[in-house]
């Protein structure tokens, strides 16, 4: 069966020589293992970090020659474990492959909420939803009337963080990389304002969109956008470092942020997190997310690709902004 092999560590952007599609035969199952068919692969910004050699990572980088790793929705074809049965759906860290062998202790049963399509359920519930929920509600604790800025706001995590902030009755401003994405944020998702960071003088635009300053910064991008936001933080503001995607493609550390000064001057609370640490809390968060999707108070777009052969280009779209919503590859 087919799988994507990791061939070359990218020096900057992922390119066509980073991975190659290969054939393999899987060994027989051992005790406690599952043979799964990977149905849907989730493309995540963090995948790029696993291809580098940084020392500071939350997980082992992928070795050259190994199969590419990713989150996925899988169906059990054969079970050598009492925990799961043939036919059951599980979500797991898996491989970019048609079939994989997984350890039964490392997967989670996956049940889509009633009447929700499987791809939508997986797209929202698996990683993006808990990330937005935890970062905004458990770390930033938004209060009605506060101003929340979300970067990469039209992406999977960002659009949810912004909409959950609206449900918390905040003034919500998003940044995104095109006018079309900005219109989507305001006209369809109910953001109060959106800024195209490619066009605007980001600082002027932020000052205009946040007349009362920023109370909560939900950061997905890093670099100069984060700097401009730090400048406008209010006293006792909260800065949630969810992601720094603008830095993932560079091997070297990027200087800055220059406005770190304000962590003292504005008495900021700055907190980063890795959502996988909170897996035990997922079911509780997923119940809220499912309800919001089902009652229409949250909208979520999928950007799906059909066929394992599109996995590499699908992942690359996250770093160019070509994606419009949560990127999935269906096998
Ligand atoms: P998205 O769907 O948001 O896609 C990524 C988006 O980032 C692109 O569409 C693009 O949007 C924007 N982007 C890419 N490169 C740049 C750049 N150089 N400068 C500015 N914007 C850029 O992906 P995800 O929802 O999967 O991830 C969003 C963030 O959430 C990432 O930083 C990721 O690492 C983080 N994350 C963190 C987790 C955690 O546990 N802490 C868990 C999951 C995600 P645009 O067109 O607007 O530029």
Are the beta carbons of 103 and 39 closer than 8 angstroms? no
Atom 27 of ligand 1, nearest CA residue:
45
Ligand 1 centroid vs 44 CA: distance in angstroms?
A: 8
Atom 31 of ligand 1, nearest CA residue:
243
From CA 105, how far away is CA 116, in angstroms rounded? 27
Chosen CATH of 2-111+301-330 out of 3.90.180.10, 1.10.10.10, 3.10.20.520, 3.30.70.270: 3.90.180.10
Ligand 1 contact, 124 CB (< 6 A):
no
Are the beta carbons of 275 and 130 closer than 8 angstroms? yes
Ligand 1 centroid vs 78 CA: distance in angstroms?
A: 35
Task: List, in sequence order, every residue forming a beta bridge with 71; answer none if it has no partner.
Answer: 42, 93
pLDDT value of position 56: 86
Residues 6+ apart with CB under 8 A from 183: 194
From CA 256, how far away is CA 272, in angstroms rounded? 16
pLDDT, mean of each 10-residue run, the chain (331 residues): 97 95 98 98 97 88 97 98 98 98 97 95 97 98 98 98 98 98 98 95 97 98 95 98 94 81 94 96 96 97 98 98 97 98
Query: Residue 131 CA: which ligand 1 atom is closest?
Result: 42
Structurally, at CATH architecture level, domain 126-276 sits in 3-Layer(aba) Sandwich (3.40)
Domain limits, the chain: 2-111+301-330, 126-276
Got the DSSP string for 84-120? --TT-EEEEEEESBSEEEEEGGG-EE--PPTT--HHH
pLDDT value of position 264: 92
From CA 235, how far away is CA 10, in angstroms rounded? 41
Four-CA torsion 43, 98, 37, 103, nearest 10 degrees: -80
From CA 16, how far away is CA 313, in angstroms rounded? 8
Q: In testing the pocket of ligand 1, which one of 245, 273, 325 has its CB within 8 Å of the most ligand atoms?
A: 245
Residue 136: exposed, middle, or buried by beta-carbon count in 10 A (0-12, 13-18, 19+)?
buried
From CA 92, how far away is CA 276, in angstroms rounded? 11
Ligand 1 centroid vs 283 CA: distance in angstroms?
A: 24
Q: What is the pTM of this model?
A: 0.97
Ligand 1 contact, 177 CB (< 6 A):
yes
From CA 267, how far away is CA 277, in angstroms rounded? 27
Per-residue tokens: 72: 């996925």
pLDDT value of position 200: 83
pLDDT value of position 189: 98
Q: In testing the pocket of ligand 1, which one of 135, 318, 324 has its CB within 8 Å of the most ligand atoms?
A: 318
pLDDT value of position 54: 81
From CA 206, how far away is CA 199, in angstroms rounded? 13
Dihedral angle sign, alpha carbons of residues 126, 58, 221, 227: positive
pLDDT value of position 251: 77
Ligand 1 centroid vs 34 CA: distance in angstroms?
A: 32
Per-residue tokens: 150: 């979300």
| Number of residues that make up the chain | 331
């Amino acid at each position: 069966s087919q799988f994507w092999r990791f061939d070359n560590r990218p020096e900057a952007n992922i390119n066509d020589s980073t991975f190659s599609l290969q054939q393999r035969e899987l060994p027989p199952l051992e005790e406690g293992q599952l043979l799964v068919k990977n149905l849907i692969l989730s493309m995540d910004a963090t995948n790029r970090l696993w291809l580098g050699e940084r020392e500071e990572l939350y997980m082992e980088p992928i070795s050259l020659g190994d199969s590419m790793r990713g989150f996925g929705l899988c169906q059990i074809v054969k079970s050598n474990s009492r925990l799961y049965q043939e036919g059951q759906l599980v979500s797991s860290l898996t491989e970019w492959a048609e079939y994989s062998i997984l350890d039964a202790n490392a997967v989670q049963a996956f049940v889509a909420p009633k009447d929700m399509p499987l791809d939508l359920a997986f797209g929202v519930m698996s990683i993006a939803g808990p990330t937005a929920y935890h970062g905004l509600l458990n770390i930033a604790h938004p209060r009605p009337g506060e101003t929340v800025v979300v970067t990469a706001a039209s992406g999977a995590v960002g659009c949810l963080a912004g909409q959950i902030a609206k449900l918390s009755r905040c003034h919500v401003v998003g940044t995104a990389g095109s006018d079309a994405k900005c219109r989507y944020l305001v006209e369809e998702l109910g953001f109060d304002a959106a800024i195209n960071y490619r066009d605007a003088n980001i600082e002027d635009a932020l000052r205009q969109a946040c007349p009362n300053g920023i109370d909560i910064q939900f950061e997905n991008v890093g670099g100069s956008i984060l700097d401009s936001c730090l400048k406008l933080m209010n006293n006792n503001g909260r800065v949630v470092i969810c992601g720094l995607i603008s830095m993932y493609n560079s091997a070297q550390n990027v200087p800055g942020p220059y406005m770190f000064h304000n962590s003292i001057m504005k008495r900021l609370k700055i907190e980063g997190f890795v959502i996988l640490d909170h897996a035990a809390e997922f079911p509780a968060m997923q119940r809220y997310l499912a309800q919001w999707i089902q009652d229409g108070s949250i909208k979520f777009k999928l950007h799906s690709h059909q066929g394992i052969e599109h996995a590499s280009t699908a992942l690359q779209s996250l770093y160019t902004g070509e994606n419009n919503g949560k990127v999935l590859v269906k096998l």
